[in-house]
Amino acid sequence: MHHQEFMQLTISEAQKAGTPFAASIAMGNDILVTKVQSVSPEHDPTAHAIVLALRELGQLTHQTDFSGYTLYSTCEPCMMCGGAALWSHIGEIYYGVPRTWITQHYKNNDPGCSKVLKKSIEQLTIHPEFMFKECIHLFE
């Protein structure tokens, strides 16, 4: 099951960086990028893990259409990251901790993106709460 392996690798990168927020993008059996949230160190309010991963994949491939790629995230994409996934035409998203948990824990009210993404015209499959138990440890 490479989905579990890829999520585990994403979790490990988050642990190494000391943040709960990490994301990877894979094509078939290969992970191409893994990034962690870097808002403060990079002085960039948009430097969430998913945005950084999409940006780096653009640099690697010189493309901006990632149909057929799969995104792994330790949590449900926020509104910004969900929008970025939408514009990138990402094909599939696996995520761990749902946004409802995140917003409660961090006392913000980002609405998350699953409902919006499900209504999208894009061909997008979402796997919520994938390896939830492993991911929630990062946030606790």
Per CB under 8 A, does 127 bind a second copy? no
- Total chain residues near a second copy (CB under 8 A): 38
**Contact partners, residue 118, CB within 8 Å, separation at least 6:** 124, 126
Q: 88: helix, coil or strand? A: helix
Rounded to an integer, what distance in angstroms lies between the CA atom of residue 58 and that of residue 16?
A: 24
CA-derived radius of gyration, the chain? 14
> At its nearest, how many Å lie between a second copy and the CB of residue 107?
9
List the one residue from 7, 22, 25, 54 that touches a second copy (CB under 8 A).
54
Rounded to an integer, what distance in angstroms lies between the CA atom of residue 123 and that of residue 137?
A: 31
List the one residue from 67, 104, 108, 125 that touches a second copy (CB under 8 A).
108
Interface positions with a second copy (CB under 8 A) = 39-40, 42-46, 48, 51, 54-55, 58-59, 61-66, 78-84, 86-88, 108-111, 113, 116, 119-121
